[in-house]
Amino acid sequence: MTLPSVPLPDTRRSEYAGVRVLCLGNDLLADDALGIVAAEELRRRLPERVEVYATTETGFRLIDYILYARRLIVVDTVMTGCADPGTMYLVREEDVRDASGGSPHYVGLFESLDVGRKLGEPVPDEMVIIVVEGGDCRTVGGEMGAAARQAIPRVVDLVERIVDSESEVGFNLDGLAAPAAG
């Protein structure tokens, strides 16, 4: 699998995207490819007004992907070991605000967002995160596991429902839950 060539968002623009979907992952690391694969399907199914980006970038490089988006939906894979592979979670930014990286030298999505806000950069007003428990995000060149692959349609469906819930005041997540693995 190769990452499709999608240019970075134009960070020199002055208008905001209403909704942007940012799919994180690494197409070389088994289940971690979930975000990259989900982005391909989301580009086909979401309305043109929704920007969809996939990236293998981390750290401060993520800032280019979050600038000039009013609302951001992030899709990612995690390996907590606390749930079965394919388990999906839907969380708001404020639910995990105190999450910190594994090192004081590591900068991730939340730190990039905080820095952007402190500098007065045009970062999202709202962020929701869809994470899927991976079974193997470490095997280089490994195939995506069945549980992760089966989660992709559920991720796409949930992103569509979140986009459909958008109003002037934000996403309405009431009644939306991450579908159970089937």
> Which whole number is the average pLDDT over 157-176?
84
Instruction: Give the integer Cα–Cα distance in Å for 59 and 158.
Output: 26
pLDDT for res 106: 65
pLDDT band at 169 (very low <50, low <70, confident <90, very high): confident
- C-alpha span between 79 and 131 (Å, rounded): 10
> What is the rounded distance in angstroms from the CA atom of residue 151 to the CA atom of residue 32?
12
> Residue 15's pLDDT is what?
76
pLDDT tens digit sequence for 125-134: 899 999 998 8
Q: What angle do CA 71, 73, 75 make, to 5 degrees?
A: 165
Q: Is the pLDDT of residue 177 over 80?
A: no
In this model, does residue 104 exceed pLDDT 90? no
CA torsion sign, 53 to 58 to 61 to 66? positive
Percent of the chain with pLDDT over 70: 82
Q: Which of 92-96, 108-112, 161-165 has the highest mean pLDDT?
A: 161-165
- Render the burial of 25-46: b for 16+ CB within 10 Å, e for the rest: bbbebbbbbbbbbbbbbbbeeb
Residue 61 confidence class, pLDDT cut points 50, 70, 90? confident
Q: What is the pTM of this model?
A: 0.84
Residue 74's Cβ-count burial label (10 Å; 0-12, 13-18, 19+) is: buried
Tokens of 97: 């605000």
Q: How far is CA 4 from the centre of its chain?
A: 17
pLDDT for res 54:
93
Distances (CA, A) of 161 to 5, 54, 85, 93, 156: 27, 19, 23, 18, 9
- The domains located in the chain, with CATH, are 18-165 (3.40.50.1450)
Q: Which helix (H) or strand (E) holds 71?
A: strand 69-78
61: nearest Cα among 130, 11, 133: 11
User: 50: part of which helix (H) or strand (E)?
Assistant: strand 50-55
More confident residue, 6 or 137: 137
